[in-house]
Structure 1
Amino acid sequence: MPDPGLSPLQSSTPAAPARIHRPAGAESGTRPALSSLPSVPSLPVPATRSAPVDVFVPGDGPSGDLIAEQVRKGTAEVRQPSPALERILCGPSGLGTASLHLGRREEPPASPSSDAPVEGTPIPGLYHHPVSEPDPVRVEEVSGRIKTWAVDEVHAYPPEWEDQFDGFSVGRYMVACHPDAPTIDHLMIATRLMVAENAVDDCYCEDHGGSPIGLGSRLLLAHTALDALHTTTEYEPGWAASLQSDAPRRAYHSAMEYFLGHATASQADRFRHDMARLHLGYLAEAAWAQTQHVPEVWEYLAMRQFNNFRPCPTITDTVGGYELPADLHAQPAMQRVIALAGNATTLVNDLYSYTKELAGPGLHLNLPVVIAEREGMSDKDAYLKTVEVHNDLMHNFEAEAAALAAACPVPSVLRFLRGVAAWVNGNHYWHQTNTYRYSLPDFW
């Protein structure tokens, strides 16, 4: 039996603080910077990073070409990690503490077959931590299982979409994002939910028949596959039958049932909350599409805080086989860390999918498009400014995570922070390497 780490039944910690306070010197501008979260399997994190480049303002500062040069080169800024902070992030040591670290796997990781470079080209100037290729044995197993589930069990995709399903490379994506998953079954929690969420996005919102018209009704009914309807005996059969009426609801219902078999009640409630956030973001974007409204940049970023990847890293403890207690997950400092991670990783999607979205019909909102329209920038300068917005969010995420780890060195908190950082790194890896879906604009 693999050791799942912290007990899934643990819903609170006796020593958990009522409120998390930052340590002295951790206020904005003086808190310890997180130059590197502790390494997890296949996730080396360098101790150096590029300094942020000054944000370009039209009519003030260097030209777009100079900014591009700054983004390409960056400025090496070496940050010496605090030994005390590193000890906190690495967790406890000594006899009896092994289960408080990353979960033991059901099988040893496969040895890398070569030192070949990772596929794809990272966006120049984009702050990220490179990762190694995910375990190919796990990738193959997860990929086979998820295709069987999606195609044969819930019929989420018709045969003519098979090439797109394969090109999505969801198995490689999830293995890269969850290196601490103790078993393949745990990895399948995240993988099923990811495929189900994409089925809703494709079929209700975008690529395969989606439309902003009537989206609210469709999302509401799909959400009842995650958050069950409690009604009368007379009307419950109609709702139950509706869960099998289309591919997104079938996928949501099946993925959620599987998730509930591994999650605690508080983890399930947390996930439902984040999915409601996601659906609210979908509705805001749909409303803008219906009215042909290009939002202000701050409005777009507000929408993206909801229509983003947040439901994925929020389940990192369930996939890891342990629980971050509800009282600690709900702390404002933890909520800020999770929000910053979700916002940064979603801008990674905006940047890597930029050319794909431009090639589609109509106006597809992403941050470079909104900045270009609202701030009067060229496409190139707007794209490069988006890189810097992403980088600022990443630096804030790492600094806030470091401050939280120092202020609340509870084992489950430290492990959860490591898991979220691994998800952030794996998400970038997947976008960079998925050359089937993405290609970079010619801005360098």
Structure 2
Amino acid sequence: MSAVGDQRLWCPLGSSVHPMVEAIEADSIGWLAGHSVMSAERLTRFRAGAPGALGSYTYPRGTRAGTQLASDFITWLFAFDDLYCDGNRLGSDPVGFSAVIGDLIQVLEAPRSVSSGEFPIMRALRDLHERVAAMGSAVQRQRWVADTERYLLAKLWEAGRRQARSLPPLNSYTHMRRLGGANVACLMLTDVSLGREVPAEIMCARPMTELLQAAADLADLDNDLLSYARESGPEEEFPINGVTAAVLHGAPDLAAATRAVVEFRNARMRTLLELSEYFAEPAESAAADFSRGVCDWVSGHIGWIVKSGRYSRLPA
């Protein structure tokens, strides 16, 4: 059981950190700086939240190059969120935001078509695309591209929900949050980081799909629980958060809404544990390795939150 503030997150999974965590974190921040995605001043503030370390917590078994690739992608996601989503007016402007989303999807769909007006976040995404293509198979690249595009389109959905100041009930919210959290896209780099490809007939079958969904939901809902206090502050806009969804749809107060989200995420943890057992044998198979990597993502995400202190406690 891990605790942040008043929140205790049930997680019976073991966890570890990549032995090269410090070098990987430094290289991810250096990679972002090399693409001039942020000003030096903003990058200093950005680095204080330890985004470059998350990859080492969530891909602890990966090769040095594989975990670096995943870490750089996670760092890009944090930077994109900071620059264009949560902390920027575009995050509440679906019309303006759609132009940015369209440009980024074009990078993924047609990476060789470079425009003269390209901005740094696009160049960094193109670099990631090239590296995924070089390190993984064509199938692995396409999996990552498809889920990264879903992430981008879900961010546009979030912008619409912010503008409307409304969210669907928790079950429906969780489906869209799963896409907008980018965790499935990140999990598509798990076998790339390990250097072992899971066969398509296993990856596309229902047990693996449900395992991935449970892992993504856990990371998203843990984030929601631990970030609600910050996101609901007077200086923030309408929070895209599971607690918000529960408040808007029947929870009598904040405490009841929080309990509803905790109960939901604990049910997802039980699903994850059950399905990870399903893939445990044979222990040396690519599917077993991948399943362990998926569990690493969940426990590593919690471990990183505790270490980074990125989120404040929920209000009483």
* Shorter-chain TM-score above 0.5: yes
1:42-92 Cα distance to aligned partner (Å, 9 max, x none): xxxxxxx8xxxxxxxxxxxxxxxxxxxxxxxxxxxxxxxxxxxxxxxxxxx
1:386-428 Cα offsets, whole Å, 9 max, x none, are: 111111111112112323446x877111111011111111011
Q: Give 2:162's match in structure 1, choosing from 285, 289, 294.
A: 289
User: Do the aligned partners of residues 198 and 125 (structure 1) sit closer, same or farther apart at CA in structure 2, a change above 3 Å counting?
Assistant: closer
Pairwise CA distance, 1:164: 2.7
Counterpart of 2:108 in structure 1 is 226
Distance 1:259 1:122, change over 3 A: farther
Greater C-alpha Rg:
1
Deviation at 1:318, TM superposition (A): 0.4
Amino acid at match of 1:424: V
| Bigger share in helix | 2
Contact 2:243 2:258 in 1 (8 A): yes
CA distance in 1, matches of 2:12, 2:126: 35
**CA spacing shift, 1:178–1:217, aligned 2, 3 Å:** same
Is residue 363 of structure 1 aligned with residue 254 of structure 2?
Answer: no
Counterparts in 2 of 1:331 and 1:133: CA distance versus 1, 3 Å: closer
- Measured after TM superposition, the shift of residue 144 of structure 1 is 1.9
Deviation of 1:124 after TM superposition, in Å, equals 4.0
Cα distance 1:121–1:201, how it changes in 2: closer, same or farther (>3 A)? closer
Q: Which residue of 2 aligns with 1:160?
A: 41
Which of the residues 13, 18, 21 maps onto 1:139?
21
| Aligned equivalent of 1:199, options 62, 79, 96 | 79
Could you say which residue in structure 2 is the equivalent of 1:316?
A: 190
Match of 2:140 in 1: 267
Larger relative contact order (Cα-Cα within 8 Å, sequence gap ≥ 6): 1
SS of aligned partner of 2:107: coil
Distance 2:241 2:90 in 1: 18
Matches of 1:394 and 1:350, distance apart in 2: 15
Partners of 2:230 and 2:311 within 8 A in 1? yes
Q: Which amino acid aligns with 2:191?
A: D
Aligned partner of residue 188 in structure 2, secondary structure? helix
Q: Secondary structure at the match of 2:36?
A: coil
Structure 1 distance, partners of 2:15, 2:218, is: 21
Q: 1:405 to 1:175 in 2, by over 3 A?
A: same
Would you say the 8 A contact 2:7–2:225 is kept in 1? Answer: no
Q: The residue matched to 1:128 in structure 2 has which SS?
A: coil
Q: Distance in 2 between matches of 1:146 and 1:376?
A: 41
State the alpha-carbon separation in 1 of the partners of residues 229 and 204 from structure 2.
37
Equivalent in the alignment of 2:68? 188
User: Considering only aligned residues, what root-mean-square deviation do their CA atoms show, in Å?
Assistant: 2.4
Matched residues in 2 for 1:241 and 1:266: separation?
A: 27
Residue 186 of structure 2 is aligned to residue 305 of structure 1: no
CA distance in 2, matches of 1:192, 1:134: 16
Gaps of 5+ in 2: none
| Cα distance in 2, alignment partners of residues 165 and 302 from structure 1 | 28
Structure-2 residue corresponding to 1:420:
294
Shift of 1:226: 2.1
Q: CA deviation at 1:372?
A: 1.4
TM-score normalised per structure 1? 0.65
Amino-acid identity (%) = 22
**1:172 pairs with 2:45:** no
C-alpha distance after superposition, 1:84-119 (max 9, x if no partner): xxxxxxxxxxxxxxxxxxxxxxxxxxxxxxxxxx9x
Aligned equivalent of 1:391, options 266, 270, 295: 266
Task: Please show how residues 303-382 of structure 1 align to structure 2 within 5 Å.
Answer: 303-308=176-181, 309-359=183-233, 360-382=235-257
Partner of 1:252: 125
Q: Give, in whole Å, the separation in 1 of the partners of 2:31 and 2:274.
A: 39
Deviation of 1:208 (Å): 4.0
Per-residue CA deviation, residues 18-39 of structure 1 (Å, 9 max, x unaligned), is xxxxxxxxxxxxxxxxxxxxxx
